[in-house]
Structure 1
Amino acid sequence: MLKKKKNRTLEKQSRVPSKTLISATAHHKNPLSLSREKQQIQRKMGSDSEAEKHHEKDKKKKVLALAPIAKPLAGKKLSKKTLKLIRRAAENKCLKRGVKEVVKSIRRGHKGLCVIAGNISPIDVITHVPILCEEADIPYIYVNSKEELANAGATKRPTCCVLVLTKPQKGELAQEEQDKLKADYSQVAAEVSELTSTLF
């Protein structure tokens, strides 16, 4: 009789978790926050942490995601100069964004520098743009990502390509601003043509 009572009490205890167990699980941290804490500790230690490995993988993905037709591709310095030029052109409203606008401007005979993103997928979206540029004698260059191009062009949406013009379509620029823009433009255009001549 005593054994049966003990067995019953043991069964009840196993079915209902004790208050200490409930309180321990309630105060236990989320496993995601624990992993974040581990990552922060590893970053402070300076070891080859998970975050660093993930960052390196992202860099490799960016390099692998480049389109096979992305030539001539701007290096770090030229890319920086080009994005600076795009930023200045966007401020002065001397910039055409997107494939439609760029193609329309080229067909209308506007001259400038065409900057194309190298990580476009599918590449069919931009394959005709370099051909149009070559036919119209417009220098063109590829940069690594469409996000960088969008940031430089003062827009939030990723941009496939932009056309940098030396003067705005409507209105006029102050002489000082126009001189700065032309100086930057001529410097980048010269480097682009030099890079293109080494390729072909």
Structure 2
Amino acid sequence: MATATINPKAFPLADAELTNQILDLVQQAMHYKQLKKGANEGKFACAFGPNFERHLRKEFSYYFSSKNNIATKTLNRGMSEFIVMTADAQPIEILLHLPLLCEDKNVPYVFVPSKTALGRACGVSRAVIAASITSNEASELRPQIQAIKTQIERLLI
């Protein structure tokens, strides 16, 4: 199996230690029902041509299915603590609307290197290209979420 390359547009990219901490937290958040998986397509610039979005929808229909708009929904509803995206998503443009939305909503975001590792941490056998850790004031994960959130915010500075 060929390894996917990390796209240079994926910024900020977590280092190995932070990636492990994030994936551990994602796994714990799954058990506490504080994890939402999936990304929604963004609007593509006209520079790609009029048929680019239709081509992407045809070639990558899995990413554009109605099940994959969860990260965008959690951001718009104000439920998200932070967003985790993968740097090896192909094409990366299917994720690049999320950092803009995160900045508008003041929600930290980070890229991790592997979509298969994120999928495993989310408890599914398929690759996951985006996940949202959701807020819950009474959660036992609150201190861990705040610690990771602080580390992600340091990467963005």
Same fold (TM over 0.5): yes
2:143 counterpart (183, 188, 195):
183
**1:136 corresponds to:** 105
**1:54 corresponds to:** none
Query: Are 1:82 and 2:22 counterparts?
Result: yes
- Alpha-carbon deviations, 1:155-198, whole Å to 9, x = none? 11111100001329xxxxxx6xx23x11110111111111111x
What one-letter code is carried by the residue in structure 2 that aligns with 1:122?
A: P
What one-letter code is carried by the residue in structure 2 that aligns with 1:132?
A: L
What one-letter code is carried by the residue in structure 1 that aligns with 2:33?
A: K
What one-letter code is carried by the residue in structure 2 that aligns with 1:85?
A: L
Report the Cα distance in structure 1 between the residues aligned to 2:136 and 2:78, rounded to whole angstroms.
14
Question: How far 1:150 moved relative to its partner?
Answer: 0.4
What one-letter code is carried by the residue in structure 2 that aligns with 1:69?
A: K
What one-letter code is carried by the residue in structure 1 that aligns with 2:83?
A: C
**1:123 corresponds to:** 92
Report the Cα distance in structure 2 between the residues aligned to 1:166 and 1:136, rounded to whole angstroms.
14
Counterparts of 1:50-199 in structure 2, within 5 Å, are 61-62=3-4, 65-99=5-39, 100-167=69-136, 178-179=139-140, 181-197=141-157
Helix, strand or coil at the partner of 1:115: strand
- Alpha-carbon deviations, 1:67-114, whole Å to 9, x = none? 221111000110010001100100111111001001011112223110
**2:46 corresponds to:** none
Report the Cα distance in structure 2 between the residues aligned to 1:104 and 1:118, rounded to whole angstroms.
21
* Alignment: residue pair count: 128
**1:43 corresponds to:** none
Higher helix fraction (1 or 2): 1
Consecutive aligned runs of 4 or more in structure 1 exceeding 6 Å deviation: none
Report the Cα distance in structure 1 between the residues aligned to 2:8 and 2:15, rounded to whole angstroms.
16
Consecutive unaligned residues of structure 1, counting only runs of 5 or more, are: 1-57, 169-174
The CA RMSD over aligned residues, in Å, is: 1.7
Kept in 1: contact 2:38–2:129 (CA 8 A): yes
What one-letter code is carried by the residue in structure 2 that aligns with 1:112?
A: E
Helix, strand or coil at the partner of 2:78: coil
Kept in 1: contact 2:79–2:135 (CA 8 A): no
**2:60 corresponds to:** none
What one-letter code is carried by the residue in structure 2 that aligns with 1:68?
A: P
Q: TM-score, normalised by structure 1?
A: 0.61
